[in-house]
Amino acid sequence: METSLKTGSQLTFDFTGRVAVVTGAARGVGRSLVQAFARAGAKVVAVDRDAAGLQETLSLSPDGVAAVVSDISQPEGAQATVDAAIAHFGRLDICVNNAAIAPHTSLLEERAEVWDQVYAVNCRGTFLMTQAAARLMIAGGHGGRIVNFSSAASRRGSPGATAYASSRAAVESFTRVAAIELAPHGILVNTVSPGLIDTQPKPLPPMMSETLSQRIPTLPLARPGQPEEVVAAVLFLASDASSYISGSVMMVDGASAVGSRFSEPVVDDDIRYDWVTGHTR
Ligand SMILES: NC(=O)c1ccc[n+]([C@@H]2O[C@H](COP(=O)([O-])OP(=O)(O)OC[C@H]3O[C@@H](n4cnc5c(N)ncnc54)[C@H](O)[C@@H]3O)[C@@H](O)[C@H]2O)c1
């Protein structure tokens, strides 16, 4: 089965005949992913532990989406999710591990039980889903694609993000190992690493509004990303266009991990040396 790729000013994808699981589908990037895969012809299993949000995603999506209320941080929740792909659509080709939680607090205030929950969802959930999905893909015998999620926060020293940022970095490392172990089965595993994406609740809570109004002007592109800009990277990694890409981290962060808009260039005006000849003046 071919994923046809059309190019113009936009890339579009045709996932007709493919079945995708998307975790964290009740809002934000996950909801946009469900809609995009379904519009591109895929059958989709949309998973979240938030039943009401999931129902809203379903009502806003085209046909061909099945909803599963499930906690992917638990083995039975992950298994129920991939089983739903077989029960509803008979196969599984793509697994997008988008579900995450991101509570922020200072290192000195961090509580061990919150830390553990971050790792349970962000790391164990990604592991459990990858394992359950890969087992089904191997049994299906036609390979597959797994797209995991990190964050640009994993590369900066982001204050308040000890648990979240380190859990996202762990996913990048996990992805590299999974890519090696699953390669013989034709399963490609990659990570997408977003920067600030416009998924926050509206109207913004006052504290968040103040933080963002200070932060956004410092971003290299001086704006947050839109969910669709993350979706485009995921669809690419799930398509035949990325057939030689595995174990990679695709940054979708408008360069926020590599610098700030206001980084001053370092000007070397040391008058003691002639840099061309190497002579001391
Ligand atoms: N939004 C951003 O600025 C941003 C920045 C960097 C990285 N990311 C990453 O992008 C992804 C999507 O971000 P978002 O802002 O859309 O997230 P979000 O918080 O809006 O949505 C996450 C979804 O995951 C679900 N979820 C949480 N725990 C779950 C569990 N145990 N089982 C099932 N579902 C569960 C939540 O109910 C929610 O619907 C995440 O992996 C996040 O780490 C987001």
Q: pLDDT of 159-172, one tens digit each?
A: 999 999 999 999 99
Ligand 1 centre to CA of 29 (Å) is: 7
Among the atoms of ligand 1, which is closest to the Cα of residue 152?
A: 6
Ligand 1 centre to CA of 273 (Å) is: 53
Residue 212 CA to residue 219 CA, distance in Å, equals: 10
Residue 136 CA to residue 134 CA, distance in Å, equals: 5
Q: Judge contact between 280 and 238, C-beta under 8 A.
A: no
Average pLDDT over residues 245-264: 94
> Taking the model in full, what pTM does it have?
0.95
Mean pLDDT of the chain: 95
Residue 277 CA to residue 273 CA, distance in Å, equals: 9
Q: Is the pLDDT of residue 9 over 70?
A: no
Q: 8-12, 66-70, 102-106: which has the minimum mean pLDDT?
A: 8-12
Which residues are the active-site residues? 164
Q: Is the pLDDT of residue 278 over 90?
A: no
Average pLDDT over residues 257-281: 84
Q: Identify the band that residue 106 occupies on the pLDDT scale cut at 50, 70 and 90.
A: very high
Q: What is the pLDDT of residue 2?
A: 52
Enclosing H/E stretch for 121: none
Residue 98 CA to residue 161 CA, distance in Å, equals: 18
Q: Identify the band that residue 1 occupies on the pLDDT scale cut at 50, 70 and 90.
A: very low
Residue 30 CA to residue 251 CA, distance in Å, equals: 17
User: Is the omega angle on the peptide bond into residue 220 within 30 degrees of 0, that is, cis?
Assistant: no
Q: Are strands 144-149 and 94-97 parallel, antiparallel or unpaired?
A: parallel
Q: What is the pLDDT of residue 229?
A: 98
Among the atoms of ligand 1, which is closest to the Cα of residue 72?
A: 32
Q: Can you give the C-alpha Rg of the chain in angstroms?
A: 21
Q: Whose CA is nearest to atom 36 of ligand 1?
A: 24
Which residues, judged by CB distance below 6 Å to any ligand atom, belong to the binding site of ligand 1? 23-24, 26-30, 48-50, 53, 71-73, 98-102, 121, 125, 149, 151, 194, 196-197, 199
Close Cβ partners of 13 (under 8 Å, ≥ 6 residues apart):
3, 4, 5, 40, 235, 236, 238, 239, 241
Strand partners, 68: 47
Average pLDDT over residues 201-211: 90
Q: Are strands 5-7 and 11-13 parallel, antiparallel or unpaired?
A: antiparallel
Close Cβ partners of 116 (under 8 Å, ≥ 6 residues apart):
none
